[in-house]
Amino acid sequence: MIAYDILICGIGGQGAISLGTVLKLAAIHERLEVVGAERRGGAQREGIVTSNVRYRKLEPGETPDERLTAVSGLIPSGGAHMMISMEPLEALRHGRWLNESSVVIANDFPLTPVSVRMGEREYPTLESLRERLGQITPHVHVFPIDELSRRHFKSLRQVNTIALGMASALGPLPVSDESILAVIREQFPDFETNREAFALGKHTALA
């Protein structure tokens, strides 16, 4: 049984749900089984949004056994092979789902919670967030994804595609670049820009 679980997190409106949808559609494209629940509460309202992406594939010759193949919509604690966080604080908040071999891809641009705005709480420094995540797994990659999108495409619209390129580089994902790009071509306008953004993400992650 090949299993690969990705937890995507972010704030409402950042596109965490559509990022998960691309990764799931890529699985349908490759005839992989995929499942995963979403936390949509607070979408568009500064609320936390998560998407679980759980890939399953029988090994050649393997007979299905429900006790081994049963897969729920939620990744258990310590179960994520990869986390993609569109916001640095949310990466640490969802640290419970990581283990010592999980790969973390996190955007470095902080979105201030109301409690911080009100002066009631403090937003941890990026260094502290990175250090704490590093105690869970050594594979922590923090990138200026917002900044990359702004600089190269003069907009924040490519943030998710850049993150997908990074995920593809740091995986290995059970879905191919070709499938991801095919889905992007079907789902998003302006394929050429998105293809560049995907390549930029890959290149940045491998640099």
Partner 1 sequence: MNQLALNEKGRTILAMGNDAIVRGGLEAGLGYFSTYPGTPASEIGEGYLALRKEFPHIHAEFSVNEHVAAHGAQGASWAGVRSMVAMKHVGMNVAAEVLHFAGYTGVRSGLVVVIGSDPGATSSTSEQDDRWYSLHTHLPILEPSTIQEAKDFTALAFELSERYNLPVILNAPSKLCHNIGSLRLGALPDVLPAGGRFERNPNRYINLFGGSVANHRRAMEAVENLRKDVPTLGLNRLLPGSGKIGFISSSVNYPYLLEALFLLGITDAPVLKIGLSFPLNAREIESFAEGLERVYVVEELEGFIEFQAKRLLYDSGLRTPVIGKAVFPAYGELDVDIITGRIADELGVKLPGRMTRANELADRLAGDLPPRQGAFCTGCPHRATLYSIVKATGRDAVFAGDIGCYTLSCLPPFRAFDWVTCMNCGVGIAQGLLQKIEGEDLIAYVGDSTFFHSGIPGLINAVQQNADLVLIILDNKWVAMTGHQPSPTTDTTLDGTRMRPVDIKGLLKSIGVSYVRTIKPFNIKASMAAIKDAIRARGGVRVLIAEEECALQYGRRIAREPGEYEVYYQIDAERCQKCNECYIELGCPAIRREDTADGWRYYIEEASCLRCGACHDLCLNSAILRTEIRRPVGAVKS
The answer to the question of residue 156 lying near partner 1 (CB under 8 A) is yes
Q: Is 89 in the site for partner 1 (CB under 8 A)?
A: yes
Q: Looking at beta carbons only, is 122 or 192 nearer to partner 1? A: 122
Does position 123 interact with partner 1 (CB under 8 A)? The reply is yes
Instruction: Determine if 125 is a binding residue for partner 1 (CB under 8 A).
Output: no
Residue type, 169: A
User: Which of 156, 199 has the CB closer to partner 1?
Assistant: 156
How many of the chain's residues bind partner 1 (CB under 8 A)?
63
Contact in structure between 79 and 5 (CB atoms under 8 Å)? yes
- Is 95 among the residues that bind partner 1 (CB under 8 A)? yes
Distance, CA of 8 to CA of 166 (rounded, Å): 13
- Give the C-alpha separation, 95 to 116, whole Å: 21
Q: State the Cα–Cα distance between residues 54 and 86, nearest whole angstrom.
A: 19
**Which residues fall within 8 angstroms of residue 56, CB to CB, at 6 or more apart?**
1, 2, 3, 32, 33, 34, 35, 69, 71
Q: Where do contacts with partner 1 occur on this chain (CB under 8 A)?
A: 11, 20-21, 24-25, 27-28, 31, 33-42, 44-48, 54, 66-68, 70-74, 76-79, 89, 92-93, 95-100, 112-124, 132-133, 135-136, 156
